[in-house]
Structure 1
Amino acid sequence: MKRILIVQGHPDSSQQHFCHALAQSYAEAAMQAGHQADVINAADSGVTFLRSRAEWDSSLPAYAGEAQQAIAAADHIVFIYPLWLGSMPALLKAWLEQVFREGFAFSTGKRGWHPRLKGKSARVIVTMGMPAVAYKWFFLAHSLRSFERNILKFCGIRPVRWSVFGMVEDTNSNRRRKYLAETARNGAAAC
């Protein structure tokens, strides 16, 4: 059994989006397979943006401390978000900046930085309107690679697996059902 934390990063919680359905599919399949799965909706947490080094060094907002506890308890972390202007939504990035602070996600010392989240794995699920192949091959999945390398692996999280789901606005096809089924399989396997 694994403890799984799902960070649902769609910034609009006023209505259900496909990212919400993916989070639900992953969580349900994981729990049916005997894993524990918890979901954090970043949009519901009251995210505040960091604007200075002084704010970075200041005390944590309550939601960030709660998220750190959930991450510390998790074996596997799933991030789900839509691609907006070529990257993750600003709200999710602000959430990450608050939660993945020095002292929790990494530390620095005389010999450089030290990752503090070793032993955890991750899956990043990104939805987009364009074909996934265009994002992967033409744009080289630049923002996803940056998230993997500069945040997750920097903090010691590995392996990091991806699911890139393109053309999600095409609601008249079987595409969404296929994506939900793939997400459920990954949830059941906790990968």
Structure 2
Amino acid sequence: MAKRILIIQGHPDGSTPHLCHALSEAYAQGARSAGHVVETIDVGQLDFPLLRSKSDWDKGTLPQSLMASQLAIKSAEHLVFFFPLWLGGMPALLKGFMEQVMRPAVGLFVDGGTRPGRPLSGRSARIVITMGMPASLYRWYFRAHSLKALKRSILGFVGVAPVRDTLIGAVEAMDAGRRAQWMERMHDLGRRAA
């Protein structure tokens, strides 16, 4: 059964393609080949302000530049995030994007922001993170804290489940053969909307 898939490309440098872009494109190609409907948001191409106050968080209006993104998140059945690990977490631009589109009146509450709820229930997600360190080091020594924060404190909080992950480590040492294996894996995940 075809799904509506939203890819959120979280690499903040939208001026030049990176590994995250190639991975997300492989995922999108696999998904389209299986008949899924795919939309992509490239956060690095968006222009939006960061939230700077509790008042903005609680009552501010969503910037015009993010309205299509909010609608895409609400209409997707499966969300896929791609981003590099920077300073142990998601890049600040992606975090700022998530803060904007997931604030109370937008994502954390239902009935127009009047009561707590899980407005994104029924959606699934996959998080793909690239990093310089070995993925096992990030997962076991550093306890994958930023991955857990995105899974539990953001996506889980608004009802997205299940949330699966793919960690791709030692990217600076990646040779052409290993890169091709990852592209094939992303293509397969996209085909299965997993």
TM bracket, shorter-chain basis: over 0.9
User: In structure 1, how many angstroms separate the alpha carbons of the residues matched to 2:159 and 2:170?
Assistant: 32
The structure in which a higher percent of residues are helix is 2
Residues 122 and 159 in structure 1, CA contact (< 8 A), matched pair in contact too = yes
Residues 110 and 119 in structure 2, CA contact (< 8 A), matched pair in contact too = no
Taking every aligned residue pair, what percent have the same amino acid on both sides? 44
State the SS of the aligned residue for 2:50.
Answer: coil
Letter in 1 for 2:126: R
In the other structure, the counterpart of 2:169 is 166
Correspondence list, 1:1-191, <5 A: 1-56=2-57, 57-107=59-109, 113-191=116-194
Letter in 2 for 1:37: V
Q: Measure how far apart 1:75 and its partner are.
A: 0.3
Residues 77 and 123 in structure 2, CA contact (< 8 A), matched pair in contact too = yes
Structure 1 portions without partners, runs of 5+: none
The aligned length equals: 190
User: In structure 1, how many angstroms separate the alpha carbons of the residues matched to 2:174 and 2:134?
Assistant: 14
CA displacement 1:121-160 (0-9 Å, x = unmatched): 0000000011001011111111101110000000000000
Instruction: Return the TM-score normalized by structure 2.
Output: 0.93
Letter in 1 for 2:4: R
Q: Measure how far apart 1:66 and its partner are.
A: 1.1
Q: Measure how far apart 1:58 and its partner are.
A: 1.3
User: In structure 2, how many angstroms separate the alpha carbons of the residues matched to 1:47 and 1:90?
Assistant: 12
Q: Measure how far apart 1:173 and its partner are.
A: 4.5
Instruction: Return the TM-score normalized by structure 1.
Output: 0.95
Residues 47 and 91 in structure 1, CA contact (< 8 A), matched pair in contact too = no
RMSD: 1.6
State the SS of the aligned residue for 1:146.
Answer: helix
Structure 2 portions without partners, runs of 5+: none
